[in-house]
Amino acid sequence: QPAAKVASQPAGAAAPQSASQRPVVRLEHARKAFGGNQVLNDISLSVSPGEVVAIIGPSGGGKSTLLRCMTLLERLDGGGLWYGGFSAGEDGELAVARPASGDPRGRAVYGDKGALAQARQRFGLVFQSFNLFPHMSVMRNIMDAPLVVQKRERAEVERQARGLVQKMGLAGCEDKVPCQLSGGQQQRASIARALAMNPQVLYFDEPTSALDPELTGEVLKVLKQLAAEDTTMIVVTHEMAFARDVADRVVFMDGGVIVEEGPAEQVMDAPAHERTREFLSRFS
Ligand code: ADP
Ligand code: MG
């Protein structure tokens, strides 16, 4: 279990914290619209080291957009986004976007290229459809970003990649290309590829929804194992059992707002809001 399970911080509460307590990622008053469609409406979310946060909610509620903004695939219109320091002792957070003019709900002003490049090294992202390079072997898929983006030493990267192949249950698949793998194996290779960057936080957007039920289990098992090792994870999921049993905190999103969030048992078994109850009742 994670040492620190801190609830989402109140807006503007930026008390000094030691590196180990500091949120891994912090989003404050995030706003995002597509045309006239307000998809994220004042979302604040702060995730502690070792925490597993499940994001649930109906389709179209803004879950993917939230992850896409946190992973810099989309830009916020307003609010701010910060990533925590890499290691204990490192001061300060990395500001990806800050609200303009001191107003916490102000227009989001993004950092320079260097800051964004640094931020991109701090997270990994696993999508619903396995986003492996189709022409590369499993090993090359895993080793590519550590070699090319992080410019790490080949022997060390290869050692880590072999370890990740074992850990993800992919022994024997090292030299296979994605089309030779099952969907579950491809998704586990995607997870290995994300882990190879040594991210501080892993994001998953419905990692099992493209899989047959029997392959869903093997991917959830890997997520469960990562959670047990205190990997910080934010998982958008339709797997309610996973949210209840594995997540520390559950966030219910609908219509671009966080309707309700809290400890997993509380939100899943005793939701406070009618919209949460109605959503959960679809799964029982
Ligand atoms: P969820 O993941 O919860 O199903 P999304 O974040 O995918 O929700 O979508 C939320 C809303 O944003 C939907 O109305 C969707 O149509 C809209 N949306 C998402 N991405 C785009 C985009 N790139 N351009 C325009 N509208 C978008
Ligand atoms: Mg989505």
Residue 69 CA to ligand 1 center (angstroms) comes to: 12
**SS3 label, residue 39:** strand
Rg (CA), the chain: 19
* C-alpha span between 122 and 86 (Å, rounded): 8
Euclidean distance between CA atoms 245 and 239, whole angstroms = 10
How confident is the model at residue 160, as a pLDDT?
98
129, 183 contact by CB (below 8 A): no
Ligand 1 atom with the shortest distance to the CA of 35: 25
Estimate to the nearest angstrom the gap between the alpha carbon of 42 and the chain centroid. 19
CA of 43 from ligand 1 middle (Å) equals 15
**Closest Cα to atom 15, ligand 1: which residue?**
60
**Considering only CA atoms, which residue is closest to atom 23 of ligand 1?**
34
113 exposure class (CB count in 10 Å sphere: 0-12, 13-18, 19+): exposed
- Residue-wise pLDDT for 7-59, tens only, equals 444 444 444 455 556 899 999 999 999 999 999 999 999 999 999 999 999 99
Residue carrying structure tokens 């040492």: 3
Distance (angstroms) between ligand 2 centre and the Cα of 267 equals 20
Q: What is the pLDDT of residue 22?
A: 83
pLDDT of residue 102: 82
Ligand 1, residues 32, 34, 251, 252: which to mutate, most atoms within 8 A of Cβ?
34
Q: What pLDDT was estimated at residue 85?
A: 63
Ligand nearest to the CA of 251: 1
Cα–Cα distance, 208 to 205 (Å, whole number): 9
**Structure pTM?**
0.91
- The parts of the chain modelled with pLDDT lower than 70 are 1-21, 85-91
Structure ipTM: 0.99
The amino acid that residue 178 corresponds to is: P
What pLDDT, on the 0 to 100 scale, is given for residue 88?
A: 45
Closest ligand, as measured to the CA of 209: 2
Alpha-carbon distances of 138 from 144, 154, 193, rounded to whole Å: 10, 16, 9
Which amino acids bring their CB within 6 angstroms of ligand 1? 34, 37, 39, 57, 59-65
- The residue contributing the CA closest to ligand 1 atom 19 is 65
CA of 62 to the centre of ligand 1 (A): 6
How far apart are the CA of 63 and the centre of ligand 2, in A? 5
Mean pLDDT of the chain: 91
Look-up of token digits 């797997």: 239
Q: Distance of alpha carbon 39 from its chain centroid, rounded?
A: 18
Ligand 2 center to residue 65 CA distance, Å?
7
Tell which atom from ligand 1 comes closest to the C-alpha of 206. Answer: 2
Distance CA 95, CA 109 (A): 10
Q: What is the structure's pLDDT at 101?
A: 84
In this predicted model, what pLDDT tens digit does every residue of 121-133 receive, in sequence order? Answer: 999 999 988 789 9
Report the alpha-carbon distance of residue 226 to residue 280 in Å, rounded: 25
Burial of 254 (0-12, 13-18, 19+ CB in 10 A): buried
Of the listed ligands, the closest to the CA of 63 is 1
Rounded to the nearest 5 percent, the helix, strand and coil shares of the chain are 35, 25, 40
